Amino acid sequence: MELFVSQFVNKIDKKGRVSLPSIFRNALPQNSKNEIILYKSLKHNSIEGCSGDRIKDIADRINKLDFFSEDQDDFARSILSEIIPTNIDKEGRFLIPDYLKKHSNITSEVTFVGQGHYFQIWEPKAAIERQKKSRARLIKKKKSLSSIIFPIQRSYEK
């Protein structure tokens, strides 16, 4: 299976359409190249997207829960009712629903971020911010890591 990788910035046209990057389209499963599933990210003000196949698997698991349980209802409610199947037109474009645009402050441009089995859609500036923070956090961890591993070398550093 292909993965969603790399980053792309694309424009939203007057009709609200935006091109799904070509290599993301290629990463969709053969049988459903003209549909993606969109939903709010649980962690960020961004949108996440994936193939329909992925959702079918999740739905199967939810349906195996006890039919009368609260959990079954909650999961169905929070996951299945909050996803938006979205058609991709012949040119590879799709529409982002208004409430998802609001959620992620998207207006005229978006940044697609490959995340492996799924991808994210960000307002471009927010994407850059997110990138910085993410990197900073990594560097911080590295430092503390090296302070554990190389405590002596650090004393030479400044």
Contacts with a second copy by CB under 8 A lie at: 1, 3-7, 23, 42-43, 54-59, 61-63, 67-68, 70-71, 73-85, 113-117, 130-131, 134-135, 137-138, 141, 144-145, 148-149, 151-153, 155-156
For position 135 contacting DNA by CB under 7 A, the verdict is: no
What's the CA dihedral at 112, 114, 119, 121 to 10 degrees?
Answer: -20
For position 90 contacting DNA by CB under 7 A, the verdict is: yes
Query: Residue 116 in contact with residue 4, Cβ under 8 Å?
Result: yes
Shortest separation between residue 12's beta carbon and a second copy, angstroms: 20
Comparing CB distances to DNA, the nearer of 34 and 72 is 34
For position 14 contacting DNA by CB under 7 A, the verdict is: yes
Residue 126 buriedness (CB in 10 A; 0-12 / 13-18 / 19+):
middle
> Token pair for residue 71?
């959990």
Query: Of 4-12, 56-64, 132-140, 142-150, which segment contacts DNA by CB under 7 A?
Result: 4-12
Extended strands (E) in 23-139: 35-40, 47-50, 84-87, 93-95, 109-114, 119-122
For position 89 contacting DNA by CB under 7 A, the verdict is: yes
Length of the chain: 158
Residues at the interface with DNA (CB under 7 A): 8, 10-11, 13-16, 18-22, 25, 87, 89-95
